[in-house]
Chains A and B, each alone.
Chain A
Amino acid sequence: MGARVFVCIGTKKGLFVAESGKRRERFELRGPFGPGVSVYSALVDTRGDEPTIYGSSCNPFFGMKVLRSTDLGHAFAETAAPPAFPKDDGRALANIWSLQAGAEARDLWCGVEPAALFHSSDGGDSWELVQGISNHEHARQWQPGNGGLCMHTILVDGDRVHLGISTGGHYLSEDGGATFRAANRGVGAGFVPDPYPEFGQCVHKIARHPAAPGRLYMQNHGGWSEWNGPGGPRPDIGVLRSDDHGKTWRSIAKGLPSDFGFPIVVHPHDPDVVYVMPLEPMTRTCPGSAPAIWRSADGGDSWARLAKGLPKKRAWFTVQRDAMDVDELSTPALYFGTTTGQLWIGRDGGEEWECVFDALPPIHCVKVAIA
């Protein structure tokens, strides 16, 4: 493991890179790269001799680009080509929501809006549409959520590939991404009469830990406990766990102040430790306007509130689905970025919080790596 902490911060006005030593006492900030343009996904790829940093650049005028840095985030350049739908497909790229390292040294996966998956074998210079999910029989039935019809989660686990789509649900491949099937048993939906449809759920984020084979955690679109229309109330559908590679899911939301939220993050050294940020479903801010991260140390059976150092009231920010991450140091720190442009660090596994930057543009994503 390297000696420096890199925090990539994707914002409404470009990509920032914050760098610190392992003590994380002071962060040097560089950027914005791709200035003035929203960055919804970033990746610090530590597989090679030297890390490569990627960021999406979602230009509302001139289209999507993928930015790449090979000098630890001092300079970025566009890759040779961004993902693009085939001409006869009829869809046009509207955003890039996820960049994920693949199995081979230069393999990359990219989840986009409208929901589709691309694969690159050359570090992002060329891309191929992954037909098995992008032209899945369900694909034309998926619907956009408030953020768009986005493929935001890509988790690679050997030959298994897990995808999170809002709103499409969780899709699982067990053949390296060649074919996919909806795997949403136990994943509820509140915005359709059928509380447990085959697909179409508004999955917000999925996380896993390599030391817990088969286990997944999901932040789903909760907030439907009081629904009394067709299908009845749907309490606690927002925070879920699977122990069979996502084939079935069960609620772990008991004990949280709300089952609505966006990010979900797993501790790097303990698969039983998982973090969420519960939000009020209507305002999408923390209950009582008092921000807090909630941590489970037992795989979701119980939860504890972590708020030391965070504002005690009058804070109405949202933390978006990719805007929370954790580093892999022996005593890891959590990080989250807010829609009000603050980057927070939660030292000692989230026990004590400090605002690192307080006036960045609205933050879409935060990705951390040690390199």
Chain B
Amino acid sequence: MNHELAIETKGLVKTFGKHRAVDGVDLSIPKGKVYGFLGPNGAGKTTTIRMLATLLQPDGGEAHIFGKNIVTEAAEVRERISLTGQYASIDEDLTGIENLVMISRLMGYKKKEAKARATELLAAFGLEEAAKKQVKNYSGGMRRRIDIAASIVVTPDLLFLDEPTTGLDPRSRNQVWDIVRTLVSAGTTVLLTTQYLEEADQLADRIAVINQGKIIAEGTSSELKASVGAGTLNVRLADSTDRERAITILSEKLQTDIKTSGDTASLSAQVGDASLVAEALGELVQHRINVSDFSLGQPSLDEVFLTLTGQKTESEEEGKQ
């Protein structure tokens, strides 16, 4: 057992009937970082978090939070963690301030202190004006913020955020990201789950890609990206009748398959070595094939995910619709 770790699990398993929702998860998450769980719906992210937050008992393996066993020392674990679930875990019929005062009281603040702490948090989260409104009248972003505020009434050493930005507009999403960064700079370890690759990329120091209850890849975002090569070359031809010739030339030079899409003028390819790209483009020019546009992008985590799982991610699916 390593006390420098915020979370340590060995062979964590949770089954629901015959379904192995979490199937042997090993984690070593250091203190003071943001750790991201990335995976599609039903991958086992939430189930893992619920076990770590002492809400679910594991069926196999073991887990320690700051060296405390999540089953036998659940009470000690609860003193150091906080959970912001996928659904607003506050009372929607109550006002913002009533919610925060209630949680403050449950954390052990006396009446006056509870009021002061609630007011302080509402101000910090930009919710002063909504303090006396019922939470059910809040916008999605405000709801998320009050939910996170409720989780840090006593700043936890470890905060679980289950899909903190799902369904939020970009501005609210950025606010949540700012909150997470501030929390981490103050020494809190954050474990967040997300379906958005961009989010994991932006926020997480390390990422575990989860699929069907198993961790299929783990590392920093650049490590994960590096595992699928230099990136994707996109080429747009000026004249789509050159398509076949262009494909032949590119696949020869880049030594890889060229992907085509419904748009007959555009081609793309996964590239292992960026220096080959310049040569390949030069070759096109020599054969008088005009390129109207081209780009070489760092591989997105979408591509990483696709390569690792063979599945399309939700954001890609949505993008197509």
Q: Are A and B bound to each other?
A: no
Q: Could you tell me which B residues sit within 8 Å of A by CB distance? A: none
